[in-house]
Every structure is written in C-alpha cells, then in structure tokens.
Amino acid sequence: MSQHLSDAPRSAAAPAADASARDWWRDAVIYQVYPRSFADGNGDGMGDLPGVTARLPYLRDLGVDAVWLSPFYASPQADAGYDVADYREVDPMFGDLNDADDLVRTAHALGLRVIVDLVPNHCSDQHEWFKQALREGPGSALRDRFHFRAGKGAHGELPPNDWESIFGGPAWTRTTEPDGTPGQWYLHLFAPEQPDFNWDHPAVHEEFRSVLRFWLDLGTDGFRIDVAHGLVKAAGLPDIGHSEQLALLGSAPMPYFDQDGVHEIYRGWRRILDEYPGERIGVAEAWTPTIERAALYLRPDELHQAFNFEYLATPWDAAALHKVIDKSLAAMGAVGAPATWVLSNHDVTRHATRFANPHGGTQLREAGDRELGLRRARAATLLMLALPGSAYLYQGEELGLPDVTDLPDEVRQDPSFFRAAGQDGFRDGCRVPIPWSGTEPPYGFGPEGGGSWLPQPASWAQLSVAAQTGDPASTLELYRSALALRRELPALGAGRSVQWLDAPEGVLAFRRDGAGDGFLCLVNLTAEPVVLTVPGGRPLLSSAAQPPAAVPAAGGSPDPVDGIEVTIAADTAIWWAI
C-alpha cells in the first residue's frame, strides 16, 4: 500500500477560538498515581504517601506536568478509598496530614502540580454523619443528608425504587433500626458501604465547600471529582422501569446521572477555585451519554477538564479514532475547553491488554496477544501525545504493563467482583503494584520482604523501571522521549485542531502546525506495513523499536523533489518533522 500525503488539510476539527487564555492545564500531561500501588515506604505491602514523595523525582524526569492521586483519605477501604470516612484526614495506611503536606511541597519544588481526588457523591458508612443518622433512627435530622426512605410492600420489605447499583444488585440497603426492627432503606449507587449524599441539603453543600478550602489551603492544585455526574438525583427518585440498567449507562438519560442541577454546584466550586492563586483546577469524572453533554461541565464558569471516556473506550480502529478525535475537539472547542485524552486508569483493563484482545471491553479476563497489545499500546501513546489538549497517563503504562488477568479470586478486592458474582469487576488487574527494580517481588515497590497487597507476576522483573532505563527499545524510554519532545514542541499540546491528511484505509495521518517546521503524526493501524510519501524531513520518534525505513521517492535523488517514501510497520506510530 502506498499513499502520497497531500499538504491540504481535509478538515479542521474545531472552530477557531480564543487562544489567549493558555493556562498550564490546557496542555498538561497528568500522571495518575494510585497510592495503594505506587510505592510502599514502610514495608507493609501497601503503597503510601512517603513512598510517593520519595519517587517524585522519577515523575519529574519522566516529564509529566502534574500528578493526580486517587483517594488517600481516612477510609475503611470498602472500595479502595473511594469510601471516605473523613475528608480532612489521611488514612493511617497511607500516612498522615504531614505526609500529604510534604508530598505537595516536594512536588512543587520539583515543578510538579498535585491534584487530589474528591469524592462528593457518597461517603463511607463509617462517616460520622451516617453513623449518627443510623444511631438516631427515623426522624433524625442527619438522615436528611442522605437518601433514607421507607420500603415498598406491606412491610416495607421492598426497595423504595428499582434503581440498581453500578456494582450490581439493588442500589438500596435496608437498615436495622436502633430497636432491632427492620427499618428504612438508604440509597447507594455503588457499594452498600458507600451511602449517597443528598445534594438537596444545604449542609452537604456547606461541608464540601469547606473540604475544598481545606485541601486548597494545603496547597493542592485542584481536584479530580469522582462521579461528578451523580450528585443530583431526579426529584422524587422515579423508577427507571427496566432491569439490567448498567447496559443503559452512557446511552440513555438516567434519573441519577447527569441531571442539569449538578452544574450549579460546579459554578459554586469554580468561584472557590478562582479565589486561590495559581490556577487551581477541577476535573470531572463524568460519564455522560454524549461528549457534548460532558462539555457542559466545562463551560467557562464551571470545571476545567473532563475525562474523555469515549476516547478511552474506542477500539484500535482508524475510522473510529478519527471520528472520536474530531468529535472531542469540536465539543470541547465549542465551550472553550481543552480536549483531554486518556487510555488507562484504575477502573479499566490496561490498554496494552485491551488492544491485545479482539473482543474489546474494559473488564477483560483474557490476556490476549501480549506482543500485539504492547505494539499497539505504544503506537496509541504517540497518537495521544500528538493531539491538542491535555493527556492523562496511568501509573505503569509507561512500563508497558499488561493487566494481570489471572489473579486468583481469593486475592481480589474489587467490591464489584463480589457484588456481581464474578460477572464483572475485574479492576484489580490494573491495580497491581508497579515494579521498580530487582528480580523478585515486590520489585522495589517496597523494602524486600514487604510483599505487595496484590501479587505481582514473575514476568515483571524485566518490566521494572530499572530494567528499562537506558534501553532505547523500552517502553519507558519511548515515554521519556515522547514527553521530552512534547516539551520541546509546545505547539503539540496547544491549539484546538489537527489537520487531517489523506491516508489509506487503516492509517491516520495529521499535521500539527506551529510545532517547529512542521509536524506529522503517522499511525498505521493495519496488520501490514504501509508506505507513505511525505514532503521531506526526518523521523523524530517511532513507536517501533526500529526507526522507519525512509528513501527518496524518485529513486535515489539526494535532494528529493518528489518527497520521501516512509515505510511504517504494522501497528506503529511515527512522529515526523518536515
């Protein structure tokens, strides 16, 4: 297959918009640290804040701009910390507030920003308010801060409505009243240990405004807002009228997700963020039916960014990726927000495994073709980092880690694995502690003998940071080179559009103007090599271990007027300077 790349742009995806407000977050590369699994400072097999702090120079050298930490608050860990008992305390398993303070200061000294995870949709059943609400029984004023209801049926034995938990089973759990009789039910969109707050109650608003200030005062640079689309529920908590509601998520409007009322909350939070110097940001985890609905969270007086889950869920398919890139740039451009890009996080099968699997999906149990998955994952990373906007990396993807698909059931901890009786909930596979060095577990994750809370595969010795450092063919060095180039060519993250170039089926080719003399990103998503003719220039970086073969198109002329023929291997991306 051979194709001449024309210089003419085929489409400019986003409308031209005001580019004056180019703030740090608009093109930031943000690295997600999952504190349980990043680095264990005290040798108890569980990652902690001092462990993260000690490894921050690694992240500075990797070349990212900011770190987002999943929750480290006081929590019984029913959902790995997304069940918060005290929003102003660090769980002892992770350290204490001084450690959090230390982490933020050290990061800032290294030029890294720090974003913390805020969980406002629900708390833990061990949160003081909820414990008191249970203790005081029906009529307690504290019960109004949650969704307590009488059950249906002659004896209140049926849940108040038909909503299902995202983790499987009903979204309601019946309480036992202080006198021992079966009592009211309470709503939990996730695990029973995660009661939903009632955001119609002013005390809930007041509490979260205060929590925001608490962490902003400590110096954090912003918040990733967990389940940002869930806070407001439709009045009267109406039935949905279907079972298997999980299948409807993301495509149909739901009475508990993406209600218009959430936007007023984020307008209030934006005012608080703006009171602080240094552009503190809010990032929405908002699963919405369309990208356009996600963009509503990013209007100029609301939050700054939202995760692009549609991009994450797009298979390794050129046409599908082309479409989602255009759609994302247009939707975000329309509200003046940067597009964001993400391939992996702590809730989905790592992309090196997703792309190895012909069936797709984000909760996979099959390892698939490891080599194929890694080749595509590396190419996907170069594609993502060449797009305008902000990119999110998940710890360990820079090592090319696959998901651990063969964890025995008895070590799994994902609550949805147990709720759904093994049907779903395979998130532990992407949460295995990452390998830093050495030939035996815990591979430098913590001190020798300290173990790791999920077992690490024997094959990870060769994937450790130490094993990959200095090996030009390694995935780690590919990330380092790509991030260094992104810094050298700030235009890569800037702007709101790409210029698509004509390319054969299965190939993506676009130009990013303003990046040096001219920058092309060429991605071959097919299983065969392709030959493209480019106007001249040289390769900057290839996702394949070997640089691409490039010869003058006109058959050997030292100063080719007809361009250069570049052979791009199967499942490979190339950054090319012209």
518/535 Cα distance (integer angstroms): 10
The one-character DSSP state at 239 is -
The catalytic residue among 23, 275, 406, 471 is 275
Token pair of 12 as six digits: 């400019």
Q: How far is the CB of 21 from ligand GLC (least distance, A)?
A: 29
Q: How far is the CB of 127 from ligand GLC (least distance, A)?
A: 13
The site string for ligand GLC over 336-365 (x = CB under 6 A, - otherwise) reads: ----------xx------------------
Instruction: Check: CB of residue 401 under 8 Å from CB of residue 454.
Output: no
The catalytic residue among 226, 285, 403, 428 is 226
Is residue 79 a contact residue for ligand GLC (CB under 6 A)? yes
Token pair of 182 as six digits: 């079966």
Per DSSP (E only), the strands in 7-58 are 29-33
77/83 Cα distance (integer angstroms): 6
Is residue 190 a contact residue for ligand GLC (CB under 6 A)? yes
Is residue 30 a contact residue for ligand GLC (CB under 6 A)? no
**Hey, which residues between 102 and 131 contact ligand GLC (CB under 6 A)?**
119
526/389 Cα distance (integer angstroms): 26
Q: How far is the CB of 190 from ligand GLC (least distance, A)?
A: 4
Catalytic residue check, 274: no
The site string for ligand GLC over 270-289 (x = CB under 6 A, - otherwise) reads: ---------------x----
The site string for ligand GLC over 125-164 (x = CB under 6 A, - otherwise) reads: ----------------------------------------
Question: By C-beta, is 230 or 535 nearer to ligand GLC?
Answer: 230
435/439 Cα distance (integer angstroms): 9
Instruction: Check: CB of residue 29 under 8 Å from CB of residue 385.
Output: yes
Q: Which of 419, 556, 386 is nearest to 486 (CA)?
A: 386
Is residue 226 a contact residue for ligand GLC (CB under 6 A)? yes
Question: By C-beta, is 31 or 316 nearer to ligand GLC?
Answer: 31
Backbone torsions φ then ψ of 156, nearest 5 degrees: 65, 25
Q: DSSP letter string over 92-150?
A: TTT--HHHHHHHHHHHHHTT-EEEEEE--SB--TTSHHHHHHHHH-TT-GGGGGBTEE-
Question: By C-beta, is 346 or 496 nearer to ligand GLC?
Answer: 346
| β-pairing verdict for 340-342 and 2-4 | unpaired
376/403 Cα distance (integer angstroms): 15
Is residue 48 a contact residue for ligand GLC (CB under 6 A)? no
Catalytic residue check, 275: yes
Backbone torsions φ then ψ of 175, nearest 5 degrees: -95, 165
Is residue 82 a contact residue for ligand GLC (CB under 6 A)? yes
Tell me the site size for ligand GLC, rule CB under 6 A.
9
Is residue 257 a contact residue for ligand GLC (CB under 6 A)? no
Token pair of 330 as six digits: 């247009």
Q: CB-side exposure of 256: number of CA atoms within 13 Å?
A: 26
Is residue 27 a contact residue for ligand GLC (CB under 6 A)? no
Among 90, 227, 286, 399, binds ligand GLC (CB under 6 A): 227
314, 315, 371, 560 from 523: Cα distances, Å = 15, 14, 18, 23
Is residue 258 a contact residue for ligand GLC (CB under 6 A)? no
Question: By C-beta, is 322 or 419 nearer to ligand GLC?
Answer: 419
Q: Which residues of the chain form contacts with ligand GLC (CB under 6 A)?
A: 79, 82, 119, 190, 226-227, 285, 346-347
- Residues annotated as catalytic are 226, 275
